């Protein structure tokens, strides 16, 4: 007669999960599985109650001893920027699942995978479908006139928006001015010439400088930018990075809604 998992003191699915970025934390809470989260990133904002959990990492560094003390049976990481963290945790014997979502489709897939990892595949699929339906509703309400939008992900060097952000701009009713760069995963590959922004003349500038507040004066005082329609008409806006640069539920809800409000006002 075989020995069951329960008899060994285990579980069918992970029940002590450390999330090194916010989006997987938010997904688990939306699935009703927040109790499984035992450690979070120090940058976690959503949901507010998750901030009560032990903070074990920033983005590119972590407190490994603190993670070990939590005895996780799964660590969720994100992107090449956390590759070193993932490698060290694997070396220490922990199971690590590293996501690398860069598009809306990949964000929705991540949500479904997180659901499956905790035995809630149906709930993960339902959540992804709900978020997708919300995007369809926003797309259906987008204005006929499509303003040119420059999404500024960083100010020095000047970096244009990552793929999921550019896709959300389109859903909200705008046309990104650097569509040819959207598939570039790395920020260094999306650096743009300020003079080229002037030439492409966006109607709207949306800035989200990860980790620091946008300063409108910095944008307005750039050489030659007084000729840009967005600067001339004072259509420079900020969306907090936690709402738009987090490749999870936040960007597909609060982020895109804020983009829609901005674009609809043009």
Residue 77: pLDDT over 50: yes
Here the contacts of 223-232 (C-beta below 8 Å, separation 24 or greater) are 223/194, 224/194, 224/195, 224/198, 225/194, 225/197, 225/198, 227/198, 227/201, 228/197, 228/198, 228/201, 228/202, 229/148, 229/201, 229/202, 229/203, 230/150, 230/202, 230/203, 230/204, 230/205, 231/205
Q: Is the pLDDT of residue 140 over 80?
A: yes
Domain ranges of the chain: 6-136, 144-264
**Residue 150 — φ and ψ, nearest 5°?**
-105, 115
Which structure tokens are listed for 72?
């996780």
Q: For residue 1, what pLDDT is reported?
A: 41
Residue 210: per-residue pLDDT:
84
CATH number of the domain at 144-264, out of 3.40.190.10, 1.10.287.3510, 3.40.50.10880, 3.40.50.1980?
3.40.50.1980
Distances (CA, A) of 201 to 158, 178, 217: 15, 11, 18
Contact 192, 162 (CB under 8 A): no
Q: What span, in angstroms and rounded, lies between the C-alpha atoms of 85 and 101?
A: 18
Res 70 pLDDT > 70 = yes
Task: Supply the pLDDT for residue 10.
Answer: 57
pLDDT at 5: 43
Per-residue pLDDT tens for 154-191? 999 999 999 999 999 999 999 999 999 999 989 999 99
* Domain 6-136: CATH architecture, name and number where available: 3-Layer(aba) Sandwich (3.40)
The proportion of the chain whose per-residue pLDDT surpasses 90, expressed as a percent, equals 91
Tokens for 59? Answer: 């983005």
Specify the pairing of strand 158-160 against strand 148-155. antiparallel
Whether the pLDDT of residue 6 is over 60: the answer is no
User: Which two tokens mark 136?
Assistant: 């369809």
Partner residues linked to 159 by β-bridges: 154, 191
Q: How would residue 99 be classed by pLDDT, with cut points 50, 70 and 90?
A: very high
Q: How many CA atoms lie within 13 A of 167 on its CB side?
A: 18
Estimate to the nearest angstrom the gap between the alpha carbon of 124 and the chain centroid: 17
- Check for a shared fold between 6-136 and 144-264: yes
Q: Give the residue-averaged pLDDT of 95-115.
A: 98
Mean pLDDT of all residues in 198-223: 95
Binned at pLDDT 50, 70 and 90, residue 8 comes out as: very low
């Amino acid at each position: 007669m075989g020995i069951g998992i329960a008899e060994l003191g285990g579980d069918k699915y992970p029940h002590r999960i450390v999330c090194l970025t916010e989006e997987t934390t938010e997904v688990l809470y939306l699935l009703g599985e927040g109790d499984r989260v035992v450690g979070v990133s120090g940058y976690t904002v959503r949901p507010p109650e998750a901030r009560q959990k032990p903070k074990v990492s920033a983005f590119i560094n972590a407190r490994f001893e603190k993670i070990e003390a939590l005895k996780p049976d799964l660590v969720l990481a994100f992107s090449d920027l956390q590759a070193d963290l993932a490698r060290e945790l694997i070396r220490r014997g922990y199971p690590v699942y590293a996501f690398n979502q860069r598009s809306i489709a990949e964000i929705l897939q991540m949500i479904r995978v997180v659901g499956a990892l905790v035995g809630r595949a149906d709930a993960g699929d339902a959540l992804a479908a709900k978020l997708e339906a919300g995007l369809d509703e926003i797309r259906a309400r987008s204005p006929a006139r499509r303003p040119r939008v420059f999404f500024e992900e960083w100010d020095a060097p000047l970096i244009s928006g990552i793929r999921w952000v550019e896709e959300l701009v389109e859903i909200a009713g705008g046309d990104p001015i650097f569509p040819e760069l959207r598939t570039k995963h790395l920020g260094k590959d999306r650096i743009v010439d300020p003079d080229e922004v002037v030439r492409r003349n966006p109607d709207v500038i949306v800035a989200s400088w990860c980790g620091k507040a946008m300063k409108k004066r910095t944008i307005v005082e750039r050489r030659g930018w007084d000729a840009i329609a967005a600067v001339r008409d004072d259509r420079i806006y900020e969306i907090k990075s936690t709402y738009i640069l987090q490749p999870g539920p936040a960007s597909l809800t609060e982020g895109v809604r804020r983009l829609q409000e901005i674009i609809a006002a043009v």
